[in-house]
Chain A
Amino acid sequence: MIRHLLILFVLAAGCFAGVGCSQYEFNDPTSARVTMIHDQSADPPPAPAQTPKTLP
């Protein structure tokens, strides 16, 4: 009885290890991440210098 349980335990452990290894190996890490450091493209152009209005 104990021998059968041991065999079952070893088989189950082997299956888990196999599945775990295959998932680890076929997990594709291909990816990219963008970190924006500086972005002025959306800023409006600088406003023209205002000339002082003279009152009549």
Chain B
Amino acid sequence: MIAVPTLTIEEFGRRLRAREITAEQIIEECLRRIDVDNPRLNAFILVLADQARRQAREADRELSAGRDRGALHGVPISIKDLLDVRGTPTTAASRVREAHEAERDATAIAHLRQAGAIFIGKTNLHEFAFGTTNEDSAFGPARNPHDPARSPGGSSGGSAVSLVAGMALATIGTDTGGSIRIPAAACGAVGFKPTYGEVSTDGVVPLSRALDHVGPLARSVTDAWIVYRALLGDPAPPPLAAVPLRGLRVGVPRAYFCEVLDDEVRARFEETLDALRAAGVSVDETEIPHAKHIAPIYLHIVLADAAAYHATTLESMPERYTAPVRLRLEMGRYVLAEDYVRAQNGREQLRREVNAALAGHDALMLPTLPIPAPPLGADSVKVGPTEEPVRNMMLRLTQLFNLTGHPAIAIPCGRTSDGLPCSLQLVGAHRQTEALLRAALACEAQIG
């Protein structure tokens, strides 16, 4: 029996090259887990069983013949059904895309294919990535493996479920307001959004081209590094080296970001900071002066961008959208151009403020989600005296870094008394993505 839910890419690669395991065996185990658990968790929209088996046999043949494609050789990876994989439909979890079939791979997918990854299937998501719970999908909601009555987060919810339930060794998501980091946090995985523009979004159905990012969800920071480098076209990256924790300088933006937190999320976050301080990390407070404007700025940009992309189909086939997503897209048609410009000015302001907060720090540190995974069907959530729509609460701590384009990573940091995962978010400087991952690797070792 292969312990897929805990097997990292790093460990699989070592065992593969030691001839202790084959690509065919790992694929069969992932497919077995899909057979057993997908009916109740609904992680996949399409399982590519035959294709994956063929790819696995080829990967084993290549390795036997001395051809090693790199760290992802023979690794089963699931793909959010928002990215084109040639010969398969890209549904975006919507009936609007019923007739679609991708003629070629998205650039990021082509890089993974070249690196030897095996595509085990296309995963469920919030329709057109326009939501944080994965509830509004033409294929029904994906469910959280820790408690199937709860949301796995979104929009890359099916991706996170497929990883945590052992149906793949890594998964590819997209992140426009937190859609990689939020499900990673809700399901207890590592979720990584690179710097804006680093990983190609060619062949990816857009939500907002100004805010969209492609990145991995994985079981460890090292695995996230391996997949991130492959997405860039580097199949054999050097090992990621942790920075020394002693002397690492971290800024915590407490105002706004730590004001509305579930009690147990707050407790895990503070315990994590204590553990890092004890290991020699310098933790001090920093601020984002215009933080209270993040949500209005984000809303005006994402709504208008999404409404522009969907304008034709909103007129020609409105009944094919799920009702909540259709309404949200319709909302975008009421954003005035002058407010869109104001939001762009605000975005520039926030970018400068995050840069200023990072000055003198190696990373910013804050929780990823202010709440544990919410129950499916909940419209709002109450945290202390604050009651907000679930969507607003889930985006609260992540959307800033889509507006500013800074790289950000979510790593697990303990659980609530109900066993639900909590998550720590680290944010790095623009184009200093490797430095952020080296810091995250060091933190993961300390708090893991």
Q: Are A and B bound to each other?
A: no
Question: Which residues of A are at the interface with B, using a C-beta cutoff of 8 A?
Answer: none
Question: Which residues of B are at the interface with A, using a C-beta cutoff of 8 A?
Answer: none
